């Protein structure tokens, strides 16, 4: 479960997202930085205007580091 909405994960109401565990902390962060962006598989399922093709407003870059210690 990525959003912490076990009782109704397909609901179009986003207000209960990330309020209760279990939820994915990375997905919560991505959605807080750029609402509506695609953070996990099927993230856009059943929700209008959510996809991986968004531009964040106010941000200038996103750095992703894999295996920083080698």
CB 58 within 8 A of CB 41: no
pLDDT at residue 70, as a whole number: 58
pLDDT band at 46 (very low <50, low <70, confident <90, very high): low
pTM of the model: 0.59
CA distances from 32 to 7, 27, 29 (A): 22, 8, 5
| pLDDT tens-digit series, residues 15-42 | 888 898 889 998 888 888 877 777 887 7
Number of domains in the chain: 1
Range of the domain at 29: 1-70
Residues 6+ apart with CB under 8 A from 26: 39
């Amino acid at each position: 479960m990525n959003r912490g909405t076990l009782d109704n994960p397909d609901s179009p109401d986003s207000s209960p997202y990330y309020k209760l565990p279990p939820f994915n902390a990375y997905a919560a962060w991505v959605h807080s930085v750029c609402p509506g962006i695609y953070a996990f598989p099927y993230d856009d399922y059943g929700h209008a205007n959510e996809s991986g093709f968004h531009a964040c407003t106010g941000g200038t870059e996103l750095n992703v580091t894999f295996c920083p210690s080698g």
